[in-house]
Structure 1
Amino acid sequence: MEFACQLRCRFYLTLLISILSCSAFVIGIQDIDLERPVLTIKPVPLPGLSHKGSKEPLSCERVCVVPVSRHKLKSYASSVRLLVVPSVVIPEKLHSRIQVCLHRNASIGLCQCEKDEWKSVQKGLWSSMTSPYEEKYIDVKVIGDVSGSVTITVEEVFQHWRLICLAFGVILLLLAPIVSAWVPFYYSSSMAIGILLVVIILLFQGMKLLPTGRKNFFYLAIYGSLVGVGSFIFRQFTMIVNSILVNFGLSEELHNPVSIFLLVGIVLAGAALGYWMVRRFVISDDGSVDVGVAQFVKWAMRLLASTFILQGTPDPLFALATLVLSWIICSSITYLLNSGFCLHQF
């Protein structure tokens, strides 16, 4: 009986010590937010723990990144940049011994992240981008005897391109049912694609006549992407035309008129190719867009629009909520427009 009581007392005592230790650990976590964007810490040595594969001691510290309230919509298109910078007293050759783990699991112990989650400090800093509405934890691990502090900085970065993606996605989602059944859209897009195909084919075939040959085609393509697609195509087109005219023995005075006529011919050939493609594969016998093609284009545009809308914010919950709300609004507007059109016809 006494032995059972002793075991029970030891169990409750151990449980009480564990609870107090966990409470002390939770209370001891420092936090950082946008109102207090700078925090300097010094990792604490962990007795009894060493780096895997060696006997070097480990020091670790955890910092909680406090999220912004979701009621503050001004941070909708913003991201939070996290920076970890070692102090100047730590030599640069020892920066690789400072590793950082960014996670959301507050229940794991210090320095208990997976091996592939640890990132070393490189070139004097560690940085990462995250949503301002998510709570994150930064574990800083120091391997070996490295004396010095580490500064953690939080900075809000407003990303204008996210609002552009959001606006473009909503407009595309709203116009998808209209554009997918609009015949001029198919004619214009197919003609543009046809012109581009004709230009690419002529450039590829015409470059065989140049002294550089096809070996430098990849280099010229990279050059064109850097300088500009338009200037690249114009330059290559001029070189090909001049080379052909020189081979035929024509004077330089005829180079510009012939180039203009050739350019007009290429545009007409590409437009004719696009027109034939639309008449052959898109337009039905009654002159309207084929139902299957219209449905495919509509859902392709909706998928593309949804992708743009999801890029409007780095926060997954806000992105999903915005996508659902955009679908509801656009579907309601489309339904009202179709209902009004039907009533007008009636």
Structure 2
Amino acid sequence: MDTAKPLRFSARVLWIFFFALLDSYSNVSADGLSLVVAQPTTLNISSGLPVEISPGSKPGALMVCERVQIHGLSRLKDLKKFAHSMKVKVKVVETSPRVRLQKVEVCFHRNTSLAIGMCPQGQWEKLAKGSWVRSTSPYDHKLLDIRMPGPSFEIVEVSIKEEFLLYRVLFLIMGIIMMMLAPSLSKSIVFYYSSAMAVGVILVILMVLFQGMKLLPTGRKSSLAIFMYSSVIGVGSFLLRYLPGLLHSVLVEIGISEDMYNPV
């Protein structure tokens, strides 16, 4: 008992040190273009660094690259932002006939050891219809590399925006409620039977959907998916009303009643 308190204190100190280290890492400042999540702004880029050996480009092709550093929030100071998400958007503002929009690529990573424009070939993503959007954690410190064929760099707009996600708060509340109800649910036979049957029904439905999507032609997959999903919703709403009574009757028939697990 005497050694338990020092161990707990040491564990707390280690956790505080760990979070402080993450916090300091996410707020590292460096030279170059940067955006801060705490101050959502828009950055216009009109110049870049010429790179000749960028991975994934044609041999000998000259690529013009630029890097934007995105500094996340402090985990210790902005804990209330756990339900938020950061949306990063890249948009080509002005382009010339020389550069096609499909040739503009971005690489979203956190590897600070890579030079500008040196992301692996599989990490480069092309812009779709002149824009690119990605959601990430507001606590992350990320690097955004942008490249396009040289010798000039088209005007590119990079913006960040915070979004509040209500479902994260709902999941947190549901998790707390489930933890509070865990002692009683672990002793309920009805909960075990109902959860097992629900998982089985969901797995069967997913298998039927998967096999049906494989058998139909490619052009008709969307209509089939809409039909199947609507059917699943209808059947699911019916089962939600029918299963409780069925479970109760089955448990009574096999000799399991409420008196057996809720004695007076």
**Normalised by the shorter chain, which TM-score bucket?**
0.5 to 0.7
Deviation at 1:62, TM superposition (A): 0.8
Aligned residue for 1:262?
none
Counterparts in 2 of 1:278 and 1:80: CA distance versus 1, 3 Å: farther
Aligned residue for 1:251?
none
Aligned residue for 1:107?
113
Q: Distance in 1 between matches of 2:78 and 2:156?
A: 30
Aligned residue for 2:216?
none
The answer as to whether partners of 1:110 and 1:139 remain within 8 angstroms in 2 is: yes
Aligned residue for 1:225?
229
The answer as to whether partners of 1:224 and 1:231 remain within 8 angstroms in 2 is: no
Counterparts in 2 of 1:143 and 1:180: CA distance versus 1, 3 Å: same
Q: Distance in 2 between matches of 1:40 and 1:110?
A: 18
Deviation at 1:55, TM superposition (A): 2.6
Match of 2:60 among 33, 55, 64: 55
Aligned residue for 2:82?
76
Point out the structure with max Rg over C-alpha. Answer: 1
Counterparts in 2 of 1:232 and 1:173: CA distance versus 1, 3 Å: closer
| 2:151 corresponds to 1:178 | no
Unmatched segments (≥5 aa) in structure 1: 1-25, 201-218, 235-265, 290-346
Aligned counterparts, 1:187-266, within 5 A: 189=194, 222-223=226-227, 225-226=229-230, 229-230=233-234
Counterparts in 2 of 1:166 and 1:278: CA distance versus 1, 3 Å: farther
Q: Distance in 1 between matches of 2:242 and 2:82?
A: 45
| 2:137 corresponds to 1:138 | no
Which AA in structure 2 matches 1:275? Answer: S
Q: Provide Cα deviations, 1:139-191, integer angstroms capped at 9, x if missing partner.
A: 1111244542111000001100111111111111221221121355468x48x
Match of 2:42 among 21, 34, 38: 38
Deviation at 1:105, TM superposition (A): 1.4
Partner secondary structure for residue 174 of structure 1 = helix
Displaced runs of 4 or more, over 6 A? 231-234
| 2:71 corresponds to 1:66 | yes
The answer as to whether partners of 1:223 and 1:232 remain within 8 angstroms in 2 is: no
Deviation at 1:106, TM superposition (A): 1.3
Q: TM-score, normalised by structure 1?
A: 0.50
Aligned residue for 1:324?
none
Q: Distance in 2 between matches of 1:220 and 1:65?
A: 42
Q: Distance in 1 between matches of 2:140 and 2:127?
A: 23
The answer as to whether partners of 1:85 and 1:125 remain within 8 angstroms in 2 is: yes
Aligned residue for 1:129?
135
RMSD between aligned alpha carbons? 3.9
Deviation at 1:113, TM superposition (A): 0.9
Partner secondary structure for residue 83 of structure 1 = strand
The answer as to whether partners of 1:103 and 1:137 remain within 8 angstroms in 2 is: yes
Q: Provide Cα deviations, 1:66-90, integer angstroms capped at 9, x if missing partner.
A: 1112211231110100001012334
Aligned counterparts, 1:87-102, within 5 A: 87-90=93-96, 94-102=100-108
Q: Distance in 1 between matches of 2:177 and 2:98?
A: 50
| 2:122 corresponds to 1:116 | yes
Which AA in structure 2 matches 1:33? Answer: V
Q: Distance in 2 between matches of 1:232 and 1:107?
A: 51
Which AA in structure 1 matches 2:89? Answer: L
Q: Would you tell me which structure has more helix in proportion to its own residues?
A: 1
Deviation at 1:114, TM superposition (A): 1.0
Q: Distance in 2 between matches of 1:181 and 1:68?
A: 43
The answer as to whether partners of 1:59 and 1:141 remain within 8 angstroms in 2 is: yes
Deviation at 1:31, TM superposition (A): 0.7
Tell me the matched-pair count: 207
Partner secondary structure for residue 123 of structure 1 = coil
Aligned residue for 1:275?
249
The answer as to whether partners of 2:47 and 2:153 remain within 8 angstroms in 1 is: no
Counterparts in 2 of 1:120 and 1:134: CA distance versus 1, 3 Å: same
